[in-house]
Amino acid sequence: MQNFWQKFTTALKDPILRKRIGFTIGALIVFRLLAAIPIPGVDIANLSKLLGSSQVFGFLNIFSGGGLSNFSIAMLGVGPFITASIIIQLLTMMFPKWKALMHEEGQAGRTKLSNYSRILSVPLALVQAVGFIFLLEKGNAIVHLGATSLIINTVVLAAGSILLMWIGELISEFGIGNGVSLIIFGGIISRLPTSLIQNYQKLSSTGASDLPFYLAVGVIAIVAIAAVVYITEAERPVPVTYAKQVRGNKVYGGVSTYLPLRLNHAGVIPIIFALSIVLIPQFITGLLSKVSNVVVASYASSFSVFFQNLWIYGSLYFVLVVIFTYFYTAVTFDPTMISQNLQQGGAFIPGVRPGDHTRDYLAAIVTRITLVGAVFLGIIAVLPIVIQGFSPDSTQSFAVGGTSLLIVVSVVLDLLKKIDAQVAMREY
The full set of domains in the chain, from first to last, is 1-192 (1.10.3370.10), 214-397 (1.10.3370.10)
Helix (H) or strand (E) holding 256: strand 256-262
CA distance 357 to 360: 5
Q: What is the pLDDT of residues 177-186, one digit of tens each?
A: 888 888 888 8
Identity of the amino acid at 162 = I
Q: What is the pLDDT of residues 22-58, one digit of tens each?
A: 898 999 899 888 888 877 766 666 666 666 555 556 6
Identity of the amino acid at 382 = V
Identity of the amino acid at 191 = R
Give 255: exposed, middle or buried? Use CB within 10 Å, 0-12, 13-18, 19+: exposed
Look at residues 196, 249, 185, 258 and name the one whose alpha carbon lies nearest to residue 31.
Answer: 185
Q: Is residue 117 within 8 Å of 82, Cβ to Cβ? A: no
CA distance 116 to 118: 5
SS3 labels along 82-107: HHHHHHHHHHHHHCHHHHHHHHHCCH
pTM: 0.76
In the DSSP assignment, the letter for residue 247 is E
Q: What is the pLDDT of residues 227-271, one digit of tens each?
A: 888 888 888 888 888 876 666 666 555 677 888 888 888 777 787
CA distance 21 to 182: 12
Q: Which residue has the higher pLDDT, 148 or 397?
A: 148
Pairing verdict, β 235-242 and 245-247: unpaired
Identity of the amino acid at 327 = F
CA distance 45 to 42: 9
Residue 364 confidence (pLDDT) above 70? yes
Q: What is the pLDDT of residues 155-179, one digit of tens each?
A: 888 998 899 999 989 998 888 888 8
